[in-house]
């Protein structure tokens, strides 16, 4: 079966209704029912609970509490690199941005402008830069950490569809990551701007950032933006948020995919990806992702 035929049912499913229901189930404290769901999920996806701060499935009040479980100290050591991998998961694609085009899968590209919610001026900063698209499967740790130290300047909620983001769907749905619901986070770093985009998907209950809390739901009908200015560490709309390399920046409540963009304008540092990286390769939070070119 072709990838296009395989994803055809997703065009027909009531994806938003499915998300509302799955979000309600994941956020509900249902005692033994919740514990049974968690135990079944652990068996189905071979989740390594030995890495969790709390390894007891019965101790989690909700499925969301389990899904966003914290890891033990030292479970993900940080490499000595300019940019570390921000998540556990698998590499979807990575490489150079060709003018403003990001490679999704064979036969599919999408533009930086579309990914960033239609902001052409913002997208222009990443022309001829680099990108990495990282997929989090259900079994993975679902907190997202900073690939380098950065100061948040903007967060943009972009409404969209809720297709699955698995490899088959990436091959079968044109412009997938620029048509799904997403949260765009723009950071200033020592090596230029960095875009860190959280992409929603089928049964992704919500996306959360450490400075804002739950961004969605509600699922707004139009693009919404928050600006963060000022100096110093802190949190809250209107004030800059500075996070260290390796610090948690957000999490998925079910899901999904992270897309990173680096600039290509004159004066911005180029980068060299980890030579061990390849599409489809498993990755772990904290491993070497990229370094600045000499």
Residues with a known catalytic role: 88, 145, 256
CA angle 255, 256, 260 (to 5 degrees): 150
Phi, psi (degrees; rounded to nearest 5) at 256 = -175, -130
For β-strands 238-239 and 224-229, DSSP reports them as parallel
Alpha helix (H) residue ranges in the chain: 3-12, 15-27, 32-45, 63-67, 112-115, 120-124, 167-172, 176-179
A 10 A CB-CB count for 173 gives 23
CA–CA separation, 130 and 147 (whole Å): 14
Prior bond to 71 cis, omega within 30? Answer: no
> Which one, of 115, 149, 124, lies nearest residue 264 by Cα?
124
Question: Residue 187: which residues within 8 A CB-CB, separation 6 or more?
Answer: 146, 150, 151, 152, 153, 193, 194, 195, 196
């Amino acid at each position: 079966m072709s990838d296009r035929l395989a994803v055809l049912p997703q065009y027909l499913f009531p994806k938003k209704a499915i998300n509302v229901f799955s979000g309600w189930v994941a956020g509900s404290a249902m005692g033994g029912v919740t514990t049974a769901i968690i135990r079944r999920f652990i068996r189905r996806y071979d989740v390594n609970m030995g890495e969790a701060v709390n390894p007891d499935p019965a101790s989690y009040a909700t499925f969301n509490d389990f899904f966003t479980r914290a890891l033990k100290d030292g479970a993900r050591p940080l490499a000595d690199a300019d940019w570390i991998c921000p998540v556990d998961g698998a590499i979807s694609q990575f490489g150079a941005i060709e003018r403003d085009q990001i490679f999704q899968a064979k036969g599919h590209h999408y533009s930086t402008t579309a990914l960033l919610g239609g902001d052409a001026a913002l997208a222009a900063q990443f022309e001829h830069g680099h990108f990495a698209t990282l997929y989090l499967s259900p079994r993975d740790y679902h907190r997202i950490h900073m690939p380098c130290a950065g100061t948040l300047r903007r967060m943009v909620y972009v409404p969209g569809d809720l297709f699955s983001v698995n490899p088959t769907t990436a091959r079968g749905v044109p412009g997938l990551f620029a048509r799904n619901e997403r949260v765009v986070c723009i950071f200033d770093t020592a090596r230029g701007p960095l875009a860190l985009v959280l992409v929603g998907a089928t049964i992704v209950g919500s996306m959360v950032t450490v400075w804002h809390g739950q961004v969605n739901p509600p699922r707004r009908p139009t693009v919404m933006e928050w600006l963060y200015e000022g100096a110093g560490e802190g949190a809250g709309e209107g004030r800059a948020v500075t996070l260290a390399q390796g610090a948690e920046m957000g999490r998925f409540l079910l899901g999904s995919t992270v897309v990173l963009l680096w600039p290509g304008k004159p004066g911005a540092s180029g980068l060299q990806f980890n030579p061990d990286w390849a599409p489809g390769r498993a990755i772990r939070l904290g491993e070497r992702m990229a370094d600045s070119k000499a």
